[in-house]
Structure 1
Amino acid sequence: MGVIRGLGVYRQGRRIDGIDVVDGDLPGTPGLAEAVQKMADIAREEEESFAWIGLSQPTIEEIELMGQMFGLEHLYLEDSLNPHQPTKLDPQTDYDFIVMKILTYLDSTSDVETGQISVFIGEWFIVTIRLGPLGELGTVRQALEAKPKLLAHGPATVLHAIMDRLVDRYIEVADEINTDIESLEGEIFSPRPSDPESVYRLKRENLELRRAAVPLSRVAEELSKVGPSSFQKVFGPLFGDVRDHLLRVRESAETNDNLLMALLMASTARQDLMQNSDMRKISAWVAIAAVPTMIAGVYGMNFEHMPELSSTLGYPAVLLLMLTVCTSMYIAFKRSGWL
C-alpha cells in the first residue's frame, strides 16, 4: 500500500478539476511530489481553498518532505511517527497538531486493537498521518465530497468528520465490551465459574477504551470553544456533539470498570469457595480411609497374644467393623455437606 492514500485541493467545497486522488509513494512515484507541491501552492495562494493530504505508514524522509511543503515543525513530525503518543491537542501559530487513537473490536478474539492518527490542520491545509492498518478514511472523503456546502467551511469540516468517525468506533467498542461483560456475568455465576483471567483480559480491553476516549473528550471540549464567532457558529455545536458522545463513552467505560471489579471479586470469592469445598472433600475421604488403615495396621503388628487371631469370626468381624465405621463416617460427612 502506498504512503499517499488520498489527496486533493478543494475550492468552495469542491475538488478542483485536474487534481486526482492518487495512491503512491513519496518520493518513489514519479511526479507525485511535484503534484503535492502544486496542490500546496494552489491552496496557499487561492482564497476559499484548502489541501487535504492523507498519509499511511510514512517514513521519516516522506514526513520531512511533507513538513517542508506545509511548514510543519520537525518535533511534531517525529511525534506523528511514534505509535505510543498520547491523545493530545498542541495549538501552534499557523496550525494545530492533534493525536487521536483508533479503536476497533475483533470478534474473533474479543480484543480491542489500537491504531493512531495524527492531524496537522491549518487555515489552508489538513494532513492526516495514519499508523497501523486501522482507520481507513476513504469513505470519509467520499462522504464529505458529496456535501460540498459542508466541505466549503474548510479543513475543520474534515477534522470533525474524522473525529466523528473515530467516536462511532469507540461507541461500537463500548457496546461490544458491554456484551462481553454480560456474557462473563453468566459464566462467573454458573456452577463451574470461569477463570478470573477472563476478567483481567476484559479490564485490559476496557482500559484501552478509557485511554482513548477520556483525553479525546478534552480535545473536543477545547475545539468546541476556540476560533472566531463565525467558526463557533458552525463548529461549536458539532465538536460539542462529539464531546457529548465521548462523555457517554467515558461513563460507559467507567461503569464497565466498576462492574469488572465487582465481577473480579465475585470470581475470586467463588474460586476460594470451590477450593475450600474441594479441600473438605479431600479431608473427609482421608479421614474415612484412615480408619481401615489404622485397624489393618494394628493387626499387622504380628503380636502373638491377640484373641481375635484364633477366632474363626475374627477376620469377618474386623472387616464388618471397618465397613461400619467407614459407612458411619461417610453418612456423617454427607450430612454436614463435606461430601
Structure 2
Amino acid sequence: MIGDCALYENGRRQHRPVPFTQVGDVAATTEGFVWIGLQQPTSEDIATLAEELSLPSLAVEDAVRAHQRPKLERYDDVLFAVLKPVRYVDHDEVLETAELALFLGPHFVVTVRHGNSDVLGQVRRELDQPDCPLVAYGPAGVLYRAADLVVDGYEAALESINVDVDDIESQVFGNDDSDHGERIYKLKREIAEFRRAAVPLSAPVQRLAAGTVPGVDKKLAEHFRDVHDHVLRTIDAIEAHDRLLSDVLQADLSRLSVRQSELALKQNEVTARQNEDMRRISAWAAIGLAPTAIAGVYGMNFDNMPELRWEYGYFGVLAVIAAFCLTLYVLFRRNGWL
C-alpha cells in the first residue's frame, strides 16, 4: 500500500527513515516536505494518515474511490489535485487510463495512484537526484512535474493514435473493400476516453498558470503555462481526430452501401438470367411433351385403337404432332419464353 515515504530538505532527499506513524510530526517541524506515496489504498489504509495530516474527508473519499475527473480543489491549506495519465497500447489499439490523486500541504505531499503509471516514480527519481531544482519549489514542484509528465504522455499517445488514424484512412479510401466500421468505432471510443482524461485538465492547469492558486509558488506559473499550452494542443488534436474518424466512418458506410447495392444488382441480374433459363427450359420441355404423349398412347399395343388400321394414320399422327409443337413454339415465342 505504501510505495515510498521520504523527507526532502536542503535541496535533496534525506536518507534517514521517516516512520509512517510520525509523518505528521515530521511535516510539522521540517523546513522541507515529506512525500508519502500510496498505491490503491482502502479507506482503512489511509485513515491514520488522513488524521495525522488533517486531510479533507471528501477529498480522501475521492482519492480512494478513484474514477474522478481531473480537477484542482482547495481545502483550507491543503490543495487536492487529480491527474489522469494515459498509455496507448498500439497492438491492441486500446487506451489505458490511470489516476493520480495528490494532496499538497505546506510541508507534505500525499500521492495516491490507481492503475498502471510510472509518472510518480519518474518524478521521485528526479527528486532523488542531488540538487534537483524541483525540491526548492516544495510540494508544488511535485505537482508541476507530475502534470508535465502526464501531458507528455498525452502527446506520445497522440502520435500512436495518429498512425492508426492514417492507416484507417488509407484503407477506407484505398482499394481495401473490407468493412472497417468496427475498427473505426473502437478507435472513436478510445478517443472519447482520451477526451475525458485531457479536456477537464485544461481549467486547473490554467489556474496554476495564472499564478492565483494559494500555496503554489508564483515562479512555477511560467512552467505551468507551458503545460497548459501542451494541454490545449492535445485537446485540439483529440477533437481533430474525432472529427476525421467521423468523416471516415461516414465514407466507409457510404462505400459499404454502394458495394451492397452493386452486389444486390448483380444478384438480381443472376436471378433474372436463371429465371430466363428456367422459362426456356420449361418451354422446350412442354414442346417435347406433345410427341412424347402421343407416341406413348399409340405404343400401348391395344387391338381396338382409333385410326390404327388407317392407311395414312402414321402421317396423320406426325402432322398432329408437328402442328401441336409448332403452335406451342409460336405461343412461347410470342410471350418471350424462347
TM-score by shorter chain over 0.5:
yes
Q: Superposed, which structure 2 residues align to 1:158-169 within 5 Å?
A: 158-169=142-153
Conserved? CA contact 2:151–2:227, under 8 Å: yes
| TM-score where L is the length of structure 2 | 0.82
2:133 aligned to which of 149, 159, 173: 149
Conserved? CA contact 1:115–1:135, under 8 Å: no
Q: Are the structure 2 counterparts of residues 205 and 4 from structure 1 closer, same or farther at C-alpha, using a change threshold of 3 Å? A: same
Deviation at 1:40, TM superposition (A): 3.0
1:231 aligned to which of 205, 208, 217: 217
Q: CA RMSD in A?
A: 2.4
Conserved? CA contact 2:4–2:38, under 8 Å: yes
One-letter amino acid matched to 2:27: A
1:14 aligned to which of 12, 15, 19: 12
Deviation at 1:309, TM superposition (A): 7.9
- Structure-1 separation of matches of 2:105 and 2:323: 105
Conserved? CA contact 2:39–2:114, under 8 Å: yes
- Structure-2 separation of matches of 1:71 and 1:229: 16
Which residue pairs with 2:268 in the alignment? 283
Q: Superposed, which structure 2 residues align to 1:14-33 within 5 Å?
A: 14-19=12-17
Which residue pairs with 1:114 in the alignment? 97
Greater Cα offset, 36-45 or 174-183: 36-45
Q: Are the structure 2 counterparts of residues 187 and 306 from structure 1 closer, same or farther at C-alpha, using a change threshold of 3 Å? A: farther
Secondary structure of 1:283's counterpart equals helix
Conserved? CA contact 1:193–1:267, under 8 Å: no
Greater Cα offset, 189-198 or 96-105: 189-198
Deviation at 1:227, TM superposition (A): 4.1
Greater Cα offset, 219-228 or 295-304: 295-304
Q: Deviations over 1:124-176 (max 9, x none)?
A: 11111001123452222111222433312200001111111111111111111
Deviation at 1:120, TM superposition (A): 0.7
- Structure-2 separation of matches of 1:185 and 1:308: 68
2:205 aligned to which of 192, 202, 220: 220
Q: Are the structure 2 counterparts of residues 279 and 116 from structure 1 closer, same or farther at C-alpha, using a change threshold of 3 Å? A: same
Q: Are the structure 2 counterparts of residues 310 and 150 from structure 1 closer, same or farther at C-alpha, using a change threshold of 3 Å? A: closer
Q: Are the structure 2 counterparts of residues 136 and 161 from structure 1 closer, same or farther at C-alpha, using a change threshold of 3 Å? A: closer
- Structure-1 separation of matches of 2:41 and 2:215: 36
Which residue pairs with 1:245 in the alignment? 230
Residue 52 in 1 paired to residue 38 in 2?
no
One-letter amino acid matched to 1:12: N
Which residue pairs with 2:108 in the alignment? 125
- Structure-1 separation of matches of 2:238 and 2:144: 23
Which residue pairs with 1:80 in the alignment? 63
Conserved? CA contact 1:13–1:145, under 8 Å: no
Conserved? CA contact 2:56–2:75, under 8 Å: no
Secondary structure of 2:98's counterpart equals strand
Residue 99 in 1 paired to residue 99 in 2?
no
Deviation at 1:306, TM superposition (A): 6.8
Secondary structure of 2:276's counterpart equals helix
- Structure-2 separation of matches of 1:55 and 1:279: 61
Note the residue ranges of structure 2 that are not aligned, 5 or more in a row.
292-319
Which residue pairs with 2:170 in the alignment? 186
Note the residue ranges of structure 1 that are not aligned, 5 or more in a row.
21-34, 326-339
Which residue pairs with 2:283 in the alignment? 298
One-letter amino acid matched to 2:263: D
- Residue correspondences, number: 298
- Structure-1 separation of matches of 2:222 and 2:33: 23
Deviation at 1:310, TM superposition (A): 6.3
Secondary structure of 2:184's counterpart equals helix
Q: Deviations over 1:172-192 (max 9, x none)?
A: 111111110000011112321
Which residue pairs with 2:192 in the alignment? 207
| TM-score where L is the length of structure 1 | 0.81
The higher radius of gyration belongs to 2
Deviation at 1:13, TM superposition (A): 2.2
Deviation at 1:38, TM superposition (A): 2.4
Conserved? CA contact 1:67–1:73, under 8 Å: yes
Deviation at 1:4, TM superposition (A): 1.1
- Structure-2 separation of matches of 1:17 and 1:308: 118
Identity of aligned residues (%): 32
- Structure-2 separation of matches of 1:310 and 1:17: 113
- Structure-2 separation of matches of 1:201 and 1:46: 51
